[in-house]
């Protein structure tokens, strides 16, 4: 019986030692991984957003739409319409909030509650009233894209970065 307790004590000490060693190694590896991520700025979540694609409805067909091909997205009657640079239009039953979360905010801007705009689709911008802007796109948007006074500075900053 004495031998049993002695062996139990040795095993407990070994387990504590192994546990401490394991924690040290894990902490070192975590720090190494953090250092690697900090030294590779090209690999981040935003770069993954640029590869986003959506499976949309085009008539009776399902069509993949790549984010790089989107000119703008607008919503009417709870349906989101994707308009590609080539003018092709397809739809999806997802809110603009959910769509915008998946897009790269350097390339896309939430112009209003109804529109997400790609920087590459902007044709021209005109003053609209005293404190608003109207954005014209290629292809032409079926709804007016108006930048409100509240978003004016943010829109100009976003557009200036692209």
Helix, strand or coil, per DSSP, at residue 89: strand
Q: What is the mean pLDDT of residues 130-149?
A: 94
Show me where the domains of the chain are located: 2-40, 49-161
Superfamily of domain 49-161: LytTr DNA-binding domain (2.40.50.1020)
Report d(CA 13, CA 35) in Å as an integer: 33
pLDDT tens-place string over residues 26-52: 566 556 655 665 665 554 444 455 568
Give phi and psi for 31, each to the nearest 5: -65, -40
Report d(CA 72, CA 102) in Å as an integer: 14
Please tell me the pTM assigned to this model. Answer: 0.68
Would you call the peptide bond into 139 cis, given omega within 30 degrees of 0 as the criterion? yes
Contact 117, 135 (CB under 8 A): yes
29-33, 55-59, 139-143: segment of lowest average pLDDT: 29-33
Does pLDDT of 95 surpass 60? yes
């Amino acid at each position: 019986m004495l031998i049993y307790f002695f062996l139990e004590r040795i095993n407990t000490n070994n387990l504590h030692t192994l546990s401490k060693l394991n924690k040290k190694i894990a902490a070192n590896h975590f720090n190494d991984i953090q250092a690697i991520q900090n030294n590779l700025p090209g690999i981040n979540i935003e770069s993954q957003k640029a590869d986003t694609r959506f499976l949309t409805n085009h008539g009776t067909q399902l069509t993949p739409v790549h984010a790089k091909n989107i000119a703008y997205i607008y919503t009417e009657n709870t349906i989101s319409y994707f308009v590609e640079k080539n003018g092709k239009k397809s739809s999806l039953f997802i809110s603009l909030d959910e769509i915008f979360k998946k897009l790269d905010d350097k390339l896309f801007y939430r112009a209003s509650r109804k529109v997400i705009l790609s920087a590459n689709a902007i044709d021209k911008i005109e003053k609209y009233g005293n404190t608003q802007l109207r954005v014209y796109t290629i292809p032409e948007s079926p709804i007016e894209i108006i930048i409100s006074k509240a978003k004016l500075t943010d829109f100009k900053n976003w557009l200036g970065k692209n």
